[in-house]
Amino acid sequence: MAKATLNKPAGKTSAVVQDFLSETYLEASESGRVSLRALAARLGVTPPAVSRMAQRLVRQGLVRREGACGLVLSEAGERIALRAIRKRRIFEVFLTQKLGYTWDEVYPVAASASNYLDDELIERMNAQLGRPTRCPHGDPIPSRDGRIQPLDDVRLSELANGAQGVVSRVSSHDGDLLRYLASLNIKPGVPIHLVSRAPFSGPLRVRVANGNFHDEHVIGAELASKVWVEVAR
């Protein structure tokens, strides 16, 4: 969870503003709508603090109000958000590949530090890493010109019985959840097969590749909703 103090003055490209805009973009991508309460939870601050910052950014033309308690990024706000997301995700890859962090450790470090890093430093990291296209959690890294790779994947919880594919991403940064999934080898790039599901939103039985073998696990529907799969065609 990104931490920020939203009451201090901030320019358009300050770390605080980048945090606010990037979390607004991510909440919209995941939930379809951005409420002040949901954004406050993502940023670790109070809804009134979010409301005050939103008012400031509305005046700057970076966000606009949607209904009584919703927010939408302007085109300018989205550009800043995607640049911040690019920096964060490249830094996450750097932390895992070069500094030995695990995927459950990188998000708090990157979320608090990446917006303070120089753009040129990030681009040098990116070149050193071989220009990765995804972060350790499988999320796409926006390009320098603000484009983001469209995804063709579905939640594991929505797959039909018998469907097979490859884990594409995990939409959570909860450390305990990520460590548990890693213990099951449910990670981006790993083949997965939905064997069966219990009725009425019951648990799912999945078969996961593990080297030359396959392991079967039973996981809950809520956990399965955090795992995205590129289905074999």
Residue 4 is predicted with a pLDDT of 44
Q: pLDDT tens digits, residue range 45-62?
A: 999 999 999 999 999 999
Segment 136-145 shows an average pLDDT of 95
Residue 233 is predicted with a pLDDT of 76
Per-residue pLDDT at 66 exceeds 50 = yes
Residue 12 is predicted with a pLDDT of 43
Q: Which helix (DSSP H) or strand (DSSP E) does residue 75 occupy? A: helix 75-99
Encoded amino acid at 128, one letter: Q
Residue 2 is predicted with a pLDDT of 46
Segment 29-56 shows an average pLDDT of 90
Q: pLDDT tens digits, residue range 103-114?
A: 999 999 999 899
Which residues lie across from 110 on neighbouring strands?
Answer: none
Average pLDDT of the residues of the chain: 90
Segment 212-222 shows an average pLDDT of 92
Record the tokens describing residue 125, joined without a space.
Answer: 């990291």
Segment 90-108 shows an average pLDDT of 97
Q: Which helix (DSSP H) or strand (DSSP E) does residue 66 occupy? A: strand 63-66
User: Other C-beta atoms within 10 Å of 63: how many?
Assistant: 25
Per-residue pLDDT at 124 exceeds 90 = yes
| CA dihedral of 86, 139, 53, 61, whole degrees rounded to 10 | 60
pLDDT band, residue 149 (cuts 50/70/90):
confident
Per-residue pLDDT at 3 exceeds 70 = no
Residue 50 is predicted with a pLDDT of 92
56 Cα distance to chain centroid: 25
pLDDT band, residue 5 (cuts 50/70/90):
very low
Domains in the chain and their CATH numbers? 1-150 (1.10.10.10), 154-231 (2.30.30.90)
SS3 27: helix
pTM of the model: 0.86
